[in-house]
A and B are shown apart, each in its own frame.
Chain A
Amino acid sequence: MSYGIKVEVWGDYALFSRPELKVERASYDVITPSAARGLVEAIYWHPGLRILIDRIYVLNPICFTNIRRNEVKSKVQASAVKRMMTGGPVPMLCTSADIQQRAAMLLRDVHYVIEAHFELTDKAAPTDNPGKFKDIFRRRLERGQCYHTPYFGCREFPAHFRAWQGEIVPAVPETRDLGLMLYDLDYSNPCDIEPMFFHARLQDGIMQVAGEEILR
């Protein structure tokens, strides 16, 4: 019995920042596995289950556009907040002094089908079982429920979602080597969060994730 799920997602804009070009942001060509995982987790997540992305179907041609917007260059430091709690000054961010213009190269009109499955973790309660989780997923997708609005890489770019209804996914006839792509981040050592990469390839509009070698 398989516990696979297929979620269809689409939206006007998307930005899956490349780590090397994340200051003047440029997007990957296709949604990354970690962005897809975050998207599915927005719909349903539970400590007892872990979501793993199997493959991603690209339904719209890959198309880029550019924007430029005002952002700030500073952030409020956790240490400053801690000082304030012990009677120090209130940390502040002066946006007019800290303003920075940043450009972004982002994706237009994205449409994907995310195929994923889940595994039970050791945090699952004795009463939890895969069938139950799968039903919860199905119901939540039917009703359009989510914990927070799923988004495409950035909160500014919300994603529409529903369960994929059809049998065969009509992916775009596009085959290209996407190079190394961020797979996910390894949070096991909180002092040294390391990125993991994998070699992404688009074969007839399908990006295979499961079974690919992950470079840790």
Chain B
Amino acid sequence: MILQELTAYYQVLRAKGKISLPGWSSAKVPYALQLSPQGSLTDILTLKYLPEGAKKEIPQSFSVPEQVKRSVGIISNFLCDSSSYLLGIDAKGKPERSKKCFAAAKDLHHAVLDGVESPAAKAVLAFFDTWQPETAAENSVLAPKLEEILSGVNLIFRVGSAYAQDDTAIAQAWENSRKASSSGKKTGRCLVTGRRVPIARLHPSIKGVKGAQSSGASLVSFNADAFESFGHERGDDTGQGYNAPVSEDAAFAYTTALNHLLADRKHVQHIADTTVVYWAEDASAGSQDLFGAAAFGMEDKTITQGDMKSAIDALAQGRPYNVNGLPLNPENHFYVLGLAPSAARLSVRFFLQDTFGNMLKNLQEHYNRLEIEKPSFETHPVLSLWWLLNETANQKSQDKAPPAPMSGAVLRAILTNTPYPSSLFEAVMLRIRAEQDIGWRKAAILKAYFLKNKSIYVPEEVLKVKLDEQSNYTPYVLGRLFAVLEKIQTDATPGINTTIRDRYFNSACATPAAIFPLLINLSQHHQRKLAEGSRIYYDKMITELESRIQQTLPSRMNLQEQGAFHLGYYHQKQALYTKKNKGDSDNG
């Protein structure tokens, strides 16, 4: 499933030449060591740049020989490593260990580069042979940037005008040494490719998941006794990787593809603690752009609102569509992967796969369900996922993040067109109770929830875009009545601080029988302050509403009925304000 799809994605990217080859990975490098052909350090080059709109310079990314996974042991990387390994000094205060690191790096570079006929290889070897870690701190070339170089950042070599890793002879030597090291390893059945090949002992780290360790976390790892099975213990020479046999090639391919996706900041989303990446089978960036804009409401300058709507309409019906000259295919498979950090590991929150057209169709149906009459000042055309989830969390608290498991479940429900999680409904109801108000976003969520989750009985007339004046459903009518009573009060005493909504909103929807007689009574006092015309107007309205209640007032309403109450209140309130505008123009 996940590993297979990511491996396939790697193959597509590789065919397009967009991703590093086996044995290579990309690393962020701020400084390069300039070497003379005789191997002496002549300069330090700064490799940082200022991205557009950013305030701080960031290191450049380079394709470097694949880096090993280290915990406490001393293992050197080839051609790209920290000052401990390449210079033999660091800021860790353990000179003995640093010296050992340098020796390890020296051995590795000799092992790979001995006998390589290339000026660059000779310069690198000469550097390792002549460099004195003891006197490094006093070196005049290092001095200006010493502190930053010693902080553990990556360094690379540059000989003449080319970087050492770009030298063809050196790259070939690296390839040969890599092949030599993987031969003779224990083979097994790879669960991704199905072939009998050498099994990876450790899988490369995944970087860029929010909340996980910055040095990277593992998607596949067995880092404690209890996770291992069938005697494939860590101490065993088969290695922990044998707990789940994945070939070295597949391990490289899936991690490289996933790191590539996570490094593409434009197409990474964060929902609560979950980091979401999405990709199309054919690696078309157009599908990613359109999906990002449609599902997460991302601002995308390349796709206009009108273009997006017609694109979604076409693709949802299974017709291909061109965005900015690039064709998008509705039959293309599309994947959405949610990753969450857990200790030093990553866990899969969800993995959704479907054709691109179907995903957009599900998304479109979700937006149709959310459709509700909005206040005139609202300019957002749709309720994007980010806004939707924000409605479930207290935006005035310090931690504004919506509940994590719910967020993933909501996205899953939207993209697979399945019932929304009941936690969404409960969270929204909780916010309504706490805020004693219901905005259009909350009303839209309630409507969508009732529409999709059919197991809950709510009459159809409640779930309309606009006010339904013919509904006799008591909770809905009571919601409408409450909105009218509130309007009477604010009309009668303009500028009042505490209205009946602040005092009675929650109790009115939970226990109508106890509150409504009181409210009607209060309203008589409010009405007396009104002008003759509006008094008659409101009196008619109340009488009309009361005539729709054909039962004794319920002493308690359950959560669903309360939801219907909220929708009635919201609809009526919208209607009151729009109608008033109409009345004004009629008078004039």
Partner-B contacts on A (CB < 8 A): 18-24, 26, 28-29, 63-66, 68, 71-75, 77, 100-105, 178-180, 182, 185, 191-197, 199, 215-216
Contacts and interface: CB of A to CB of B under 8 A. Distances in A.
B3 A20 contact: yes
B4 A180 contact: yes
B2 A105 contact: no
B222 A23 contact: yes
24 contacts: A21-B219, A21-B244, A22-B229, A22-B243, A24-B347, A24-B348, A26-B1, A26-B347, A28-B1, A64-B350, A64-B412, A65-B409, A66-B409, A68-B342, A71-B226, A74-B225, A100-B226, A101-B342, A101-B343, A105-B351, A180-B191, A182-B191, A192-B231, A216-B189
Contacts of B224: 73-74, 100
Given A66-B349, A105-B348, A179-B1, A194 B220 contact: no
B255 to A, nearest CB: 12
B405 interface: yes
A148 B515 CA distance: 56
B262 to A, nearest CB: 17
Given A24-B345, A24-B346, A193 B230 contact: yes
Contacts of A65: 409
B4 A179 contact: yes
B189 A194 contact: yes
Given A21-B244, A64-B350, 15 more contacts: A20-B244, A21-B348, A23-B220, A26-B351, A28-B1, A29-B1, A73-B225, A74-B224, A101-B342, A102-B347, A103-B342, A180-B4, A192-B238, A194-B189, A195-B245
B490 to A, nearest CB: 45
B465 to A, nearest CB: 30
B191 A193 contact: no
B231 A66 contact: no
Contacts of A28: 1
Contacts, number: 106
B188 A26 contact: no
B418 interface: yes
A71 B340 CA distance: 18
B226 A75 contact: yes
B8 to A, nearest CB: 10
A66 B343 CA distance: 17
B221 interface: yes
B408 interface: yes
A111 to B, nearest CB: 16
A23 B219 CA distance: 9
Interface string B223-246: 111110111000000100001111
Given A66-B409, A74-B225, A194 B188 contact: yes
B230 A185 contact: yes
A196 B323 CA distance: 45
Nearest to B238: A192
Interface string B172-200: 00000000000000001101101000000
B409 to A, nearest CB: 7
A103 B347 contact: yes
A191 to B, nearest CB: 7
Contacts of A103: 340, 342, 347, 349
Nearest to A26: B348
A215 B227 contact: no
Contacts of B412: 64
Given A18-B1, A199-B194, A23 B221 contact: yes
Nearest to B232: A193
Contacts of B351: 26, 105
Contact of B405 (A68, A100, A102): A68
Interface string B517-560: 00000000000000000000000000000000000000000000
Contacts of B191: 19-20, 180, 182, 195, 197
A44 B238 CA distance: 36
Contact of B342 (A19, A24, A179): A24
B2 A21 contact: yes
B225 A22 contact: no
Contacts of B227: 22-23, 73
Interface string B68-112: 000000000000000000000000000000000000000000000
